[in-house]
């Protein structure tokens, strides 16, 4: 079995779990997505060999299907696409764990995903400044802004395509995404910020989430 492990102290690690697919292997039931584990391995080159595994707590009860389960896999796809192997991000590890717990606990999917996207970008050093525009002026809650990944936020008329409200930017900065407009604006801005670093390659889980929601 080929594994992509996200660890607190080593970052993302590629491992080979020999014999894990065998019908009598105890690893078969342990090595499941979203399950906290204590692992040991030997690393030679880019891929390591798993040498031990045990549970690190009770496994979360996964949703049976639908957009909540797909949202969990969306978190994983973002980590796979935007992090490098063996590049540790302890803060991001905690952010990921919190997002998984929130989704499993039934928190609103859209709000959880926007929080994770923002914190992911911040942890990787790509997060947009949500409090100041490109000229250094404080964001006005009553104004509208366009986001340019290269320049930052620029004030614009409200009707301009892609415009987001200043109040939405401030709500996102404080993780207070409760209003539909704030959620929609946060989704638009964070997608633009993420797409730069995805280099135009579409996310499979994003496409499937769109299908599940009918858009």
Beta strand 47-55 pairing with 152-156? unpaired
Domain check: are 48 and 107 in the same one? no
| N- to C-terminal Cα separation, the chain | 35
Residue 88's alpha-carbon distances to 3, 45, 57, 172, 192, in angstroms, are 17, 17, 22, 26, 25
Question: Is 199 a domain residue?
Answer: yes
Domain check: are 133 and 176 in the same one? yes
59, 35 Cβ separation under 8 angstroms: yes
What whole-number distance in Å separates Cα of residue 139 and Cα of residue 124? 23
What one-character-per-residue DSSP string does 190-212 give?
Answer: HHHHHHHHHTTPPPHHHHHHHHH
Domain with 29, as residue range(s), is: 2-55
Domain check: are 117 and 150 in the same one? yes
Q: Which of 92, 138, 139 is nearest to 117 (CA)?
A: 92
Domain check: are 51 and 123 in the same one? no
Domain check: are 112 and 204 in the same one? yes
pLDDT value at residue 73: 93
Domain check: are 159 and 94 in the same one? yes
pLDDT value at residue 18: 94
Q: What is the pLDDT of residues 47-70, one digit of tens each?
A: 999 999 999 877 667 776 688 889
Q: Which residues of the chain have pLDDT under 50?
A: 215
Question: Residue 112 is inside which H or E element, if any?
Answer: helix 109-123
Count how many domains the chain has: 2
Domain check: are 131 and 110 in the same one? yes
Question: Is 173 a domain residue?
Answer: yes
Domain check: are 27 and 105 in the same one? no
pLDDT value at residue 131: 95
Question: Is 96 a domain residue?
Answer: yes
Classified as helix, coil or strand, 146 is strand
Question: Is 62 a domain residue?
Answer: no
Domain check: are 51 and 75 in the same one? no
pLDDT value at residue 57: 74
Domain check: are 163 and 116 in the same one? yes
Question: Is 61 a domain residue?
Answer: no
Question: Is 200 a domain residue?
Answer: yes
Domain check: are 13 and 101 in the same one? no
User: What CATH code is carried by the domain that includes residue 195?
Assistant: 1.20.1440.120
pLDDT value at residue 108: 93
What whole-number distance in Å separates Cα of residue 99 and Cα of residue 105? 10
Domain check: are 48 and 85 in the same one? no
Residues 6+ away with beta carbon under 8 Å from 207: none
Question: Is 99 a domain residue?
Answer: yes
177, 115 Cβ separation under 8 angstroms: yes
């Amino acid at each position: 079995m080929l594994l992509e492990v996200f660890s607190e102290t080593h970052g993302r690690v590629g491992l080979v779990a020999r014999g894990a697919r065998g019908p009598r292997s105890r690893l078969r039931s342990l090595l499941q997505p979203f399950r906290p584990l204590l692992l040991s391995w030997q690393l030679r080159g880019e891929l390591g060999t798993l040498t031990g595994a045990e549970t690190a707590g009770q496994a979360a009860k996964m949703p049976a299907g639908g957009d909540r389960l797909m949202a969990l896999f969306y978190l994983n796809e973002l980590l796979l696409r935007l992090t490098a192997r063996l590049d540790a991000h302890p803060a991001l590890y905690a952010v990921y764990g919190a997002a998984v717990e929130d989704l499993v606990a039934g928190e609103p999917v859209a709000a959880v995903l926007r929080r994770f996207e923002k914190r992911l970008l911040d942890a990787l050093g790509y997060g947009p400044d949500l409090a100041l525009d490109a000229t250094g002026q404080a964001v006005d809650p009553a104004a509208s802004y366009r986001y340019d990944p290269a320049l930052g936020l620029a004030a614009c008329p409200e009707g301009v395509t892609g415009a987001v409200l200043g109040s939405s930017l401030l709500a996102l900065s404080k993780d207070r995404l409760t209003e539909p407009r704030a959620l929609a604006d946060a989704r638009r801005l964070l997608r633009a910020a993420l797409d730069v670093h995805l280099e135009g390659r579409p996310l499979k889980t994003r496409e499937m989430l769109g299908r599940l929601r009918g858009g």
